[in-house]
Amino acid sequence: MVDNGIIAPGGTIGILGGGQLGRMLASAAAEMGLHAHIYCPEKDAPAAEVAAQFTCAEYDDEAALTRFAESVDAVTYEFENVPAETARILSEHGIVRPGPVALATAQDRIVEKHFMQAHGILTAPFADVSDEASLMDAVSSIGTPSVLKTRRFGYDGKGQAKIMSPEEARAAYDEIGRAPAILEGFVKFEREISVIVARGLDGETAAYDPVENIHKNHILDRTLAPAALPKAIADEACAIAARIANELDYVGVMGVEMFLLPKQGSKRRLLVNEIAPRVHNSGHWTMDACAVSQFEQHMRAVCGWPLGSPRRHSDAVMTNLIGDEVNAWEHLSREPDTAIHLYGKAEARPGRKMGHVTRLYPLGKRPPVTPS
């Protein structure tokens, strides 16, 4: 099924992780005449019910991983915390896309920041924290306010503590469990934006229009597509995302989160906050507002197909349905020009992403802010 690294229709893509991203990837694969095989330790995985095959096993189960790798034409993943040993075992048995360099870079905030620095991409000021002495050094060099984050495994604001004055540093370090950390200067950004970029097997890149992201309780609440930005800034954001993908020799879709700083004189600057080596929540609007969604685009890249156009045919506002917000499904499904996507999760726990809606508008007609 694999010829020159290209996987034709009829091939099987293994997906590590069984959440909503895996579910939407598996659905896109099916639309392309491919089969999806989900691998994850959770029994009631949202992705499993839309996939052709499902392996329920731990990420360190070498025998199960080997069988999985041998049953598919390529493996991809829906989350960045794939253990290095899991990635190693899988790549010994076949193709893993995106590759290990992207995974290692995105898994560790310090490695990620050094990568950006090495390629002249601006970030928040940062310092490495490995013990109390380096914490104190970091606080004196970075200053306050600042944010202490675990190097690994942070998401939706977890593993993070803000430090308003040097006296708060120890308590913040305790709060994040004294794990290896990074101290970042607190950025007084004007807006948060992101770019969903794809890079194909042949090195071609395609970026969707930058979008603005609004968070509630550290969780993405809404994505406004497109972000209202001067063209030069939008182009710069896309160019930064493409450069990162090229430098990582990336294959697949990647989310690049950025901070837009307030205007200083005539200049505005963009800082990269973090990259996600996978499809991204701030790209869900592409399912309804573009001919080729981020999920299809990722599958195209992973399979070595030509990338699709990232052109937007509508403006859009994507709103996440968190916890019991999903109970409004009936009311939401009566709204005109609104696509509803539910993830099939049984229990609507607080903070749990249960689904999303995308409200579509004619090009150029997106309201500046919509009720959440």
Enumerate binding residues for ligand AMP (CB under 6 A): 124, 147, 154, 157, 184, 186-187, 192, 215, 218, 257, 273-274
Give me 162's structure tokens.
């803000």
Choose between 54 and 186: whose C-beta lies nearer to ligand AMP.
186
DSSP H/E element including 353? strand 353-361
The least distance separating ligand AMP from the CB of residue 277, rounded to whole angstroms, comes to 14
Choose between 64 and 261: whose C-beta lies nearer to ligand AMP.
261
Choose between 33 and 153: whose C-beta lies nearer to ligand AMP.
153
- CA-nearest of 1, 124, 143, 125 to 73 is 1
Q: Do the Cβ atoms of 347 and 235 come closer than 8 Å?
A: no
The least distance separating ligand AMP from the CB of residue 145, rounded to whole angstroms, comes to 8
Give me 300's structure tokens.
């195209």
Give the Cα separation of 159 and 177 in Å (integer). Answer: 8
Give the Cα separation of 55 and 53 in Å (integer). Answer: 7
Query: What is the 8-class DSSP label of residue 4?
Result: T
The least distance separating ligand AMP from the CB of residue 123, rounded to whole angstroms, comes to 9
Choose between 154 and 310: whose C-beta lies nearer to ligand AMP.
154
The least distance separating ligand AMP from the CB of residue 280, rounded to whole angstroms, comes to 11
Choose between 146 and 314: whose C-beta lies nearer to ligand AMP.
146
- CA-nearest of 100, 109, 80, 162 to 273 is 109
The least distance separating ligand AMP from the CB of residue 201, rounded to whole angstroms, comes to 29
Give me 113's structure tokens.
């920041």
Q: How far are the Cα atoms of 117, 122, 141, 168 from residue 125, in angstroms, in the given order?
A: 10, 9, 9, 19
Would you give the distance in Å from CA 292 to the centre of its chain?
A: 18
Choose between 88 and 215: whose C-beta lies nearer to ligand AMP.
215
Longest CA span, the chain: 60
Helix, strand, coil percent content, the chain, rounded in steps of 5 = 30, 30, 40
The least distance separating ligand AMP from the CB of residue 263, rounded to whole angstroms, comes to 18
Torsion of CA 36, 40, 46, 52, to 10 degrees: 20
Choose between 209 and 274: whose C-beta lies nearer to ligand AMP.
274
Q: Do the Cβ atoms of 182 and 139 come closer than 8 Å?
A: no
Choose between 192 and 212: whose C-beta lies nearer to ligand AMP.
192
The least distance separating ligand AMP from the CB of residue 124, rounded to whole angstroms, comes to 4
Query: What is the 8-class DSSP label of residue 309?
Result: P
